[in-house]
Each structure stands twice: as structure tokens, then as C-alpha cells.
Structure 1
């Protein structure tokens, strides 16, 4: 993603609607039971949504929110080869990604097999691990913005209303 897309992705609308996309994807896959091959249509719509999502919403006026700092942490994480991050963040990010991926595989299998227990339990594991990962990204950003000044430039603090 380019700089403008990352700024738009910092919108709480982008973050929270993307977080809510996992059940939509699993439901789209599950729909093969009654749609057959046509289930590829809702799957494609969700995949298109996931691609459009960070590009769709306007950049927020303020970025001192949890959701914005999650995206900043992801940017720091993706840039870790150029600007190294502390080992404790890297270890946890890898662990949480692995847990989330394992949960996602179980949820996918459940959706393909139309097994509600596998779909829901795998989906919950994937979702909670991803949310924990996001929280770790906020922590990573908070720590790295003071160590690498260009990261601090992403932060825009909102103005408090004066009465």
C-alpha cells in the first residue's frame, strides 16, 4: 500500500469493518452447501472488500486512537528489516500470527465441511489472536515512535473542544 492508502487505513471505519470481515468470509465459504459453485461469488465479494477496505474510507483527522495506532504498528512491523524492532515484539508477533493462522485453517476447514463447531471455534481463535496481535502492534508503535522519528510523524492528536 502507498502512503495515502495507509493513512486511509488508519480510519477506525477501515479497521473495525475489516475486523468484522472474518465471519463474512467464513459465511461466504459456508454458503457452498446451498449455492454450490456460485458460492465463489460471495467469496469474491468479501475478498474484493478486503482489498478495497483500506482504500475506501477517508484518512482520519486524528490518529491518536487504538485503531490508527494498530495500523501504524503494522507498518512498523512490515518495515522491521529496514528499522529493527525489539526481539520481544517480534517473538510475540510471530507467535500470535501462528496461532491466528492455525485458528483460521480450522475455521476454513469447518466452513468447507459445514461443521459449526470447527468454524466457530477456529474463527474465535483466529479472531482473538489477531486482536491480541493488533494490541501488540499498538505497543510496538508506541515504543518505536520514540526510537525512529519518522514514525512519530504519523501521529495526529485530536483537538479537544473548548467550551
Structure 2
């Protein structure tokens, strides 16, 4: 658990962000919101587009801190936090960050297809973005070795914030 007396306000807010984002509902819905976002663009649905953007913005803090983080969706968030805390960044020509670099043109392709209302390109581009992102998150889970914690773990209260 994060102490409210230690560290700066920014550190406490950042810890709260990551703790709440480690909720599997946060990670899972964040993955699933991308196709909805692309659909909103494809359909030119301003309300759905705005609602999707709002959801993306509040998603990491929308859900409560999970009681356990020994599930895959929580582990990808914890691994991302550890990865970034170690200064490894998200872009680069090294593996797995090259996957995010490759995702740039795929994202542009998906957006261009949705804007042009090309259904096959929109679907393929959206799937490509999701595959590359999930491949990156899976790789950082493996590289960091993050396992999360469950109710039977001795340090389960502290491991969400790590």
C-alpha cells in the first residue's frame, strides 16, 4: 500500500494511478476500447468518439485497486510500470520496443482506412495494432518476470504498488 506521508504528491498520484490501473477490468477494457474507437471514427459517430476518448482518459483510475494481481491482465500493467521505472522506454529498435515502432505505420494505416471508410483495411489495421501492442506487453511481462500477488502471498498488500 502507498503511504500518504512518504514521497511527493506526484509520486503518490503516480502510485495510485498504477495501482488502480492494475485492476484487470482496467487493463481488459483498455484493450477492448481500441476497436470501439476505430468504429467511432469509421462511422463518424461524434458521440461515440467523445465517449470513447473520455473512457480512455479515465480508465486507468476508474476501477478500484485490485485485491490480487496474479492474473495476466494485472501482470501486463505491473510489468509496464516496472519496465518504465527501469528507464527502458517504449520506443526503440531493440526488442521488444521495436514492436511499438512498427505499430506507428500500422496505426496510421488503421486510421486512414477508418477515415476513408475502408472496412477491410480498418479491421486489418485495428487487429494489427492490437496484436503488436499485446505482443509488446507479453514480451515485457516475460522480460520483467512480474508475477503479481494473490491473497495467500505474504506481501500481497505491498506488491500492487511495486
Which of the five TM-score ranges fits, normalised by the shorter chain? 0.7 to 0.9
Alpha-carbon distance between aligned partners in 1 of 2:121 and 2:86, rounded to the nearest angstrom: 34
1:5 aligns with 2:17: yes
Higher helix content, 1 or 2? 1
| TM-score (normalised: structure 1) | 0.76
- On the 8 A contact 1:14/1:54 being kept in 2, the answer is yes
Q: The residue matched to 1:60 in structure 2 has which SS? A: coil
Alpha-carbon distance between aligned partners in 2 of 1:72 and 1:43, rounded to the nearest angstrom: 28
What are the superposed Cα offsets for residues 70-96 of structure 1, whole Å, 9 maximum, x if unpaired?
111111222233xx69xxx98223211
Alignment gaps of 5+ in structure 2: 1-12, 154-162
How far did residue 139 of structure 1 move?
1.3
1:73 aligns with 2:76: no
Alignment gaps of 5+ in structure 1: 33-38, 146-151
| TM-score (normalised: structure 2) | 0.76
How far did residue 9 of structure 1 move?
0.6
Tell me the equivalent position of 2:150: 157
Alpha-carbon distance between aligned partners in 1 of 2:83 and 2:105, rounded to the nearest angstrom: 20
Runs of 4+ in 1 over 6 A off after TM superposition: none
